[in-house]
């Protein structure tokens, strides 16, 4: 039954039971309240904000298909756009934001990852800022807009892909590698 499956999925989003990770009710509430998961209140704040938004966009699409109430759809759409609240135009990355609305500093995208594991683990899960930049597969057109248009999008994607090599080894996998 689609309605029952939708209800369970909606409850998982609201309770924070996403992608096998338990955010718990309080974290789900905090992330919704701030419009992002604050880095000083939630571990893996950028990753959780991005995943929470993706889940909400998926529920919004499903809710439209089921002809659910417009206010419910609007709520999911709003949560689904929360990832944009982590976009720092000056740095041109999704950046950890604190509960006082400031950015986590100092912040340098290439430092996050392999050699800065303790700091990295606070804000990103299983990837680097350069990888998490592309974690809006269901909202690609929005990401094109966020990055400043098609030309800038293609340039950033090309830069990212050219940063990958087959010869990088385990000693220094580089800033673009995770798995």
Looking at residue 84, the DSSP 8-state letter turns out to be: G
Task: Report the mean per-residue pLDDT for the chain.
Answer: 81
- Range in 56-70, 109-123, 134-148 the model is least confident about: 109-123
Higher pLDDT pick, 176 / 31: 31
Both tokens assigned to 50? 């991005």
**Residue 19, pLDDT score:** 47
The DSSP element (H or E) to which 143 belongs, if any, is helix 140-146
State the pTM of this model. Answer: 0.82
Residue 87's φ and ψ, nearest 5 degrees, are -75, 120
Can you give the pLDDT at residue 128? 77
Specify the higher pLDDT residue, 37 or 16.
37
Rounded Cα distance, 85 and 108, in Å: 18
- Output the CA torsion 85→87→90→92 (10° steps): 180
Mean pLDDT calculated for residue range 128-139: 85
Which tens digits make up the pLDDT trace of 82-91? 999 999 999 9
User: pLDDT tens digits for 19-48?
Assistant: 445 445 567 788 888 999 999 988 889 999
pLDDT of residue 80: 93
Which of 101, 70, 72 is closest to 10 using CA atoms? Answer: 72
């Amino acid at each position: 039954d689609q309605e029952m499956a939708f209800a369970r999925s909606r409850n998982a989003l609201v309770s924070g039971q996403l992608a096998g990770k338990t955010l718990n009710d309080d974290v789900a509430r905090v992330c919704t309240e701030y419009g992002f998961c604050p880095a000083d209140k939630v571990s893996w704040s950028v990753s959780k904000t991005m995943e929470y938004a993706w889940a909400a966009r998926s529920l919004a699409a499903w809710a439209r298909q089921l002809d659910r109430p417009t206010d419910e759809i609007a709520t999911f759409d709003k949560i689904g756009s929360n990832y944009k609240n982590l976009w720092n135009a000056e740095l041109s990355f999704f950046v950890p934001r604190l509960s006082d609305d400031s950015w986590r500093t100092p912040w340098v995208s290439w430092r996050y990852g392999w050699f800065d594991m303790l700091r990295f683990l606070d804000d990103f899960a299983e990837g680097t800022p350069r990888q998490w930049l592309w974690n809006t597969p269901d909202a690609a057109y929005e990401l094109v807009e966020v990055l400043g248009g098609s030309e800038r999008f293609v340039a950033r994607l090309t830069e990212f892909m050219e940063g990958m090599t087959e010869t990088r080894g385990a000693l220094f996998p580089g800033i673009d590698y995770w798995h």
